[in-house]
Structure formats: C-alpha cells, structure tokens
Structure 1
C-alpha cells in the first residue's frame, strides 16, 4: 500500500478538487483506493455524497482500529472508498499533543487498512501543524498543486525550506501545476521559471483551468463523470499515470 498526500500550505490552489479527481482516476485505472479526508470542512466526502463520520470524534481516530475501519464508506464507484471527515478533526493537533510518538500516529492508524488498498490518498488541511508533520512522515509521496503565480510559488519554496530545516526527505515532494491558464503571460513565465528551478520536484503534467471543475460542487461528483472530454479530465488522467510511475 502506498500513502499519497494531496497537500498545500496555501489554500485556493485546487487541493481538494485534485484529491477527488486523482482518487477517481486511480480507481478507474484499477487501483484500490481509500480517499481519507483529513480536512474538517469535509469537502471530499461532500463531493462523493458521503455524510461526515460521527464515529471518529476524538483521538480514537489514531488509536481505535475497529472504530477507524468501521467509519470507512463505499462510494458510487468501483475500487474507491471514502473515510469522511467531521468538524472534530480540527482538534487533531490537540489529540496528537497528548500522545507519545505523536509524529508517527497517523501512519500507525493507516496500517490497519494496509492489505485492503493499493493507494491511500490523504486530502490534507492547508497548514503546517503536528498533523502535517504526521503526513510528511507517513506519505510515500506528497502531491502539491501549484497555481503558477508568485504567491503559490512562494509557498512551494516555504514547504521545501521546511523539509530542509527539519531533515525531511524532499524527494517525497511532487509539485504539479494546477488551474493553469495558457493565455496568461504570468502563468507561462512562472511555469518555465519553476521548471528550470525545481526540475524533478515538479511533475511533467499540468492541469489546465476549467470551469467544469468548479461545477463539481453542483454535481457532487468527480469532473470525469459529467464532462469526460474536458481538458482538465485528461490532465488528471495523465497525472495519475505519472504518479503511479513515480511510485
């Protein structure tokens, strides 16, 4: 089982939309996928029409295997299950602060489903916290959506610097360009400059901006289910393929 985090320390970069569409794309490619929503807003579960879990409301998320696994829900799609979030997840840092070996607790919890899935995909909240450090330690790969703008580039630099300062392996970080608009000069220039600067830390695929992705909240489904020929769908499919090759 591989653990993949969809993470950004900046909001508004298409993190949850990416997590949902990547989970769907991997499942469509034959991978057994668990999408684990760690964001208390619970947007991933909302997109898949899965209600927030009422069973994981405290530190038992990290300690109670039976409660953890019983909170997993099936989706409407083959090979794809969801572990939905609830608002109590906002207290994860408080729970973790009470535990010994707090930075390895998430990985221990996920080991309970090791034989059931090929990929566990984590939809992470946009901050750097004790939970984030758990994610960094647990994940085999950290997918970071980057809008090709100055602020998004800056937060990518901050993430790499955090890994350096804390002795974390930067090879886990796989950035990819998200919501790219080829008609914007700034986007084109930023993509070129960042590819030159970061090389293999960036995947080859760039997912274009699409208004259809914004309609996911209306359809409550991955974009590939209602706009199959959309350019963003093709981008996510290529992203899934490249991710599997990297893994």
Structure 2
C-alpha cells in the first residue's frame, strides 16, 4: 500500500482538487483507493456528495478503539472509497496532544486498513501542527502544490526548514506548480526560477482553469466530467509522474 498526502500549510493552492483527481486517477489505473478527508471544511467529501456519518467524531477516529472502518463510504466510482471529514476535526490537535504516541496515531489508523487498499490519498488541512506531523509520519510521499508566487515559495522554504529541523526526510517532499496562469509574467518568472533551483520539483504543472473550479458545481472530479480538458490531462500526467518513481 502506498500513501500519498496532498499537503500545504497555505490554503487556496489547489490541494483538494489535486487529492480528488489523483484519487480518481488511481482508481482508473486499477487500484483500490481510499481518500481520507482530514480537512474539517470537508471539500473533498462535498465533491463526492458524501456526508459524514452521524457517529463520526475525531476522537472515535484516532482513539484506541477507532471506528474508522465503519465510517468509510463508497463513492459513485467503483473501487474509490472515502473516509469523510467532520467538523469535530477542528479538535484534532487538542485530542492528539493528550494521547500517547500522539505523532503516529494517523499512521496506526492507516496501517489497520492496509489489506483493504492499494492506494491511500490524504487531503490535508492547511496547517503546520500536530495533525501535520501525523501526516508527515504516515505518508510515503508529500505532494506540495505551489501557486507561482513569492509567498507560496516562502511557505515551501519554511516547510523544508521544518523537515530538516525535525529530522524528517526531505526527499519525500515533491512540490508541483498549481493554478498556473502562463499569461502572468510573475508566474512565468517563478516557475522558471524554481525549475533551476529545486531538484525535487515535479515536471507537471496544473493550469489555472474554470473547469477545475466547476468541480463544486458538478460535484465530481474534473477528470470525470471533462476528461479531455487540459487540466484533466495535467492531473493524469501528474499521477503518472508520481507513481513512476
């Protein structure tokens, strides 16, 4: 089983769109796939038209006798399942802080599901917190979407510094450009600059697209409702690049 996290400490960078479409691409490639929505806003759950079970709570998810398996839901797409988000996830950090082995609770939860799925994809909340450290412990690869702006690059540099200071392996960080508008000179400049300095940068870029924004209207991956659109092709290419390594 492989675990891929779509993570950024900065919001509004296309993280959830990437997680949703990569989960779809994984299933299309023949993998039994679980998408775990860890963001209390529940955007990934919304895109798949899934509401959280009434009994789902953060404590039940990461507690000693967790009920994660009972909370997993099928989506409209065969072999693609979702563990939905819940508003109680806003208390994740406080709950984890009072638990033993607080940095590895998420990994333990996922390990229990290892025989059920080929691929697990995490849609992560935009924070650098105890939840984030659980994600860093659990994931084999961390995909970091970067909008081509100076602030986005600064956020990524801070993440690299945190990894180095905390003893995490930086080679697991795989940034890629997201929401790229080639008409903007700043985007052109930032993309060119980082391609010369960041060896771990993935070659695939996700373009800014109204079709991706329309996922909220269609409530399904853009790869499904517009498979030939350039953004869909980009997500498919991103998936192929990640799994080819």
Contact 2:6 2:123 in 1 (8 A): yes
Give the alignment's TM-score, normalised by structure 1: 0.96
Deviations 1:106-147 (A, max 9, x none): 100111110111111010000100010010011100010101
How far apart are residue 64 of structure 1 and its match? Answer: 5.1
1:51 aligned partner: 51
Deviations 1:11-70 (A, max 9, x none): 110111111111111111111110000000111010000112333314221135661101
Provide the aligned C-alpha RMSD in A: 1.1
Contact 2:3 2:119 in 1 (8 A): yes
Contact 1:55 1:67 in 2 (8 A): no
Give the alignment's TM-score, normalised by structure 2: 0.97
Aligned residue pairs: how many? Answer: 245
Structure 2: runs of 5 or more not aligned: none
Structure 1: runs of 5 or more not aligned: none
3-state SS of the aligned residue for 2:228?
coil
3-state SS of the aligned residue for 1:180?
coil
2:172 aligned partner: 172
Change (3 A) 1:60 1:29: same
Matches within 5 A, 1:77-156: 77-156=77-156
**Aligned: 1:189 with 2:161:** no
How far apart are residue 202 of structure 1 and its match? Answer: 0.9
Query: In 2, Cα distance between the equivalents of 1:118 and 1:158?
Result: 32
1:234 aligned partner: 233
**Aligned: 1:221 with 2:224:** no
Contact 2:7 2:15 in 1 (8 A): yes
How far apart are residue 209 of structure 1 and its match? Answer: 1.0
